[in-house]
C-alpha cells in the first residue's frame, strides 16, 4: 500500500495532473479540499469587488440581480392529525397523509377553524371504538376525497361524487352523537367549498 504524501498514514485518494498525481490519506485530503474551497471563495470575493468597481466607474450593471433566498417566516405544521398506535392498523395511513396535506393547504388558505374541525373529527373517528375498521377507513377515505376535490379548480371537480361522499359520511356517523355533532359543524363548510 502507498503512503500519504503529507504524513505516514495509508493513502486512499489520488489527485493532481496525470503526470504527477499525489496520494493522500483522508485527513490530509480533507485539509486540501478545505484550502481549495477557501481559496475559491477568496477569488469569488475578489471578482465581486472588481465587478463592483467596474460597475461604479462605468455606471452600467454588468451582472443580473442576485436571486434572494425564500425564507418562510410563519409557523409550519406538517402533521395535523394524530393517530393512536392502537388504531394505525385499522385505517390507511396514506389517507391520513393525504388529509394532512389537504388540511395544511386549507390552513394556509386562511381557514384555520375548518382545518381544526376536520382534524378533531378525523381523530374522533379513528378513536371511536363502536366503528368497525372498515367504517373508519370508509369515513377517512371519503373525507380525504372531499378535501382533495375542494382544492381542485371548479371545472375539474367531481362535485356530485363529493356530495355523495359527504352524505355517506353523515349516514355512517349519524348513530354516534359526538361524531354526528362534529360532522354537522363541518359538512356545510365542505359543501360550500365544492
The pLDDT value recorded for residue 192 is: 79
Cα separation, 108 vs 100, whole angstroms? 12
Q: Residue 86: is it exposed, middle or buried by C-beta count within 10 angstroms (0-12/13-18/19+)? A: exposed
pTM above 0.85, yes or no: no
The pLDDT value recorded for residue 72 is: 61
pLDDT in tens, 155-180: 887 888 888 888 888 888 888 777 77
Output the CA torsion sign for 85, 88, 89, 93: negative
The pLDDT value recorded for residue 86 is: 46
Contact 172, 135 (CB under 8 A): yes
pLDDT in tens, 86-144: 444 445 556 666 676 666 666 666 677 777 777 788 788 877 778 787 888 888 888 88
DSSP class of 173: H
More confident residue, 39 or 171: 39
* DSSP per-residue string spanning 33-60: HHHHHHHHHHHHHHHHHHHHHHHHHH-S
Average pLDDT across the chain, whole number: 79
* DSSP per-residue string spanning 93-160: HHHHHHHHHHHHHHHHTT-HHHHHHHHHHHHHHHH-TTS-HHHHHHHHHHHHHHHHHHHS-GGG--HH
Q: Has residue 35 got a pLDDT over 90?
A: yes
What is the chain's Cα-based Rg? 30
DSSP-derived 3-state class of residue 167: helix
The pLDDT value recorded for residue 167 is: 85
Grid coordinates 460597475 are at which residue?
A: 55
More confident residue, 119 or 46: 46
Q: Has residue 83 got a pLDDT over 60?
A: no
The pLDDT value recorded for residue 19 is: 87
Confidence of residue 74 (pLDDT cuts 50, 70, 90): low
Amino acid at each position: 500500500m502507498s503512503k500519504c504524501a503529507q504524513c505516514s498514514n495509508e493513502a486512499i485518494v489520488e489527485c493532481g495532473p496525470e503526470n504527477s498525481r499525489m496520494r493522500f490519506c483522508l485527513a490530509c485530503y480533507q485539509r486540501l479540499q478545505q484550502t481549495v474551497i477557501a481559496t475559491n471563495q477568496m477569488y469569488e470575493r475578489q471578482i465581486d469587488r472588481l465587478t463592483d468597481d467596474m460597475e461604479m466607474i462605468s455606471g452600467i450593471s454588468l451582472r443580473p440581480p442576485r436571486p434572494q433566498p425564500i425564507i418562510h417566516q410563519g409557523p409550519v405544521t406538517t402533521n395535523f392529525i394524530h393517530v393512536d398506535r392502537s388504531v394505525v392498523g385499522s385505517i390507511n395511513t396514506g389517507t391520513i397523509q393525504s388529509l394532512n396535506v389537504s388540511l395544511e393547504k386549507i390552513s394556509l388558505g386562511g381557514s384555520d377553524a375548518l382545518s381544526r374541525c376536520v382534524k378533531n373529527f378525523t381523530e374522533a373517528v379513528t378513536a371511536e371504538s363502536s366503528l368497525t375498521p372498515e367504517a373508519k377507513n370508509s369515513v377517512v377515505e371519503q373525507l380525504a376525497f372531499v378535501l382533495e376535490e375542494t382544492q381542485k379548480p371548479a371545472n375539474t371537480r367531481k362535485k356530485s361524487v363529493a356530495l355523495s361522499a359527504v352524505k355517506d359520511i353523515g349516514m355512517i356517523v349519524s348513530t354516534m352523537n359526538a361524531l354526528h355533532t362534529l360532522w354537522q359543524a363541518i359538512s356545510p363548510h365542505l359543501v360550500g367549498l365544492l
